[in-house]
Amino acid sequence: MTEDVLTLTEGAIGRIRLSRPKAIHALTRDMCSAMIAALLDWREDAAIEAVIIDHAEGRGFCAGGDVVMLAKSGESDGAQARAFFHEEYRLNHLLFSFMKPTIAFMDGITMGGGVGISQPARYRIATENTRFAMPETSIGLFPDVGGGWYLSRLPGRIGQYLALTGARLDGAECLALGLATHYLPAASLAEVKARIAADPQGIEAILCQASLPAPEARIEANREAIDRLFASEDYEEILAALEADGSEWAQAQLATLRTKSPQACKVSLRLLYDGARVQDFAHEMRQEYAVAARVVQRNDFVEGVRALLIDKDNAPRWSPATPEGVSDHLIDQIFAPMPEGEEWTPLAL
């Protein structure tokens, strides 16, 4: 077990509390394993009626996964990285298929791996502190942990926009897009959790009573531009559309995309295209595992983590360096099924 996640019960409630504040609760393999063990116990325990997922202290819910470890593994044989992804995706799938009500409190930073453990929840609580993003293209990765499923099901082309640019959403935007089910003031969360623990049958009513009208969702002002300029499944065509558009907003998005890994952007577009057509979440996770197992050992992920998180020179040397250099053949190789016996497998449910 690990001290980085607390698993406990309060009456008829199971509690998962992320407790790695210095890393904004970024997930390790041991944390994923601890959460899986608790969820499997509570799944079979008739006395547990619902599960709350939150963080114990600090300024964010969960900033993602331990990408520095992943990059160091990717530089060698990648075995440790594959083991992490395999366990994390099992956790994601277990939460997605969990029959008892789950409530995730996305108070503060909710990115990457944090999205993977909050989006499967039946109730997803945003606050004025929520900062939601899938910023993986900045480090040569892609929006995994089910991102191909969740982002591809957002309205219009918002999922593609978020996957490519890594744009951050606030709590009101999360509510408007369906990424959150309720918008609560952060100051009320402790009381709300206590009320749920005392009356797990009343979760819906408790959350509705505590909810506030959310501020206007800022992303709505750009919905038309997003749907028009990010309409293509071809990355070069998206860049051309942004270049041809004279608006300040389009030029800002273009400048953002110029900093991202071209390989990661093409992988992300393909992931969402395929994910929209998948009807089984286990199939989605199997595909994402195959992609992650390969991407983690390619130049762009190792280089992206070096540039942004280790050396912090913010000058990644992407390879291929241009979108045109990322061939369809390369993307097909990255998306190929894993060899027999090396595939991702869900827990027996």
pLDDT computed for residue 247 by the predictor: 96
How many structural domains comprise the chain? 1
The yes-or-no answer on residue 136 being catalytic is yes
The yes-or-no answer on residue 113 being catalytic is yes
Q: How many CB atoms lie within 10 A of CB 277?
A: 7
Do the domain assignments include residue 155?
Answer: yes
Catalytic member of 14, 60, 64, 65 = 65
Do the domain assignments include residue 342?
Answer: no
The yes-or-no answer on residue 14 being catalytic is no
Catalytic member of 49, 87, 107, 136 = 136
Q: pLDDT class for 199, splitting at 50, 70, 90?
A: very high
Do the domain assignments include residue 33?
Answer: yes
153 Cα distance to chain centroid: 14
Candidates 90, 92, 12; CA nearest to 51 is 12
Catalytic member of 14, 74, 112, 113 = 113
Do the domain assignments include residue 233?
Answer: yes
CB 148 within 8 A of CB 116: no
Do the domain assignments include residue 184?
Answer: yes
The yes-or-no answer on residue 237 being catalytic is no
* CATH code at position 131: 3.90.226.10
Using the predicted structure, report yes or no on whether residue 345 has a pLDDT greater than 90: yes
Range of the domain at 86: 5-335
Catalytic member of 66, 144, 284, 300 = 144
Using the predicted structure, report yes or no on whether residue 58 has a pLDDT greater than 80: no
CB 144 within 8 A of CB 94: no
CA distance linking residue 174 with residue 197, whole number of Å: 25
What is the average pLDDT across 331-337?
Answer: 98
3-state helix, strand, coil in the chain (%, to 5): 55, 10, 35
pLDDT computed for residue 323 by the predictor: 98
pLDDT computed for residue 204 by the predictor: 97
pLDDT computed for residue 189 by the predictor: 97
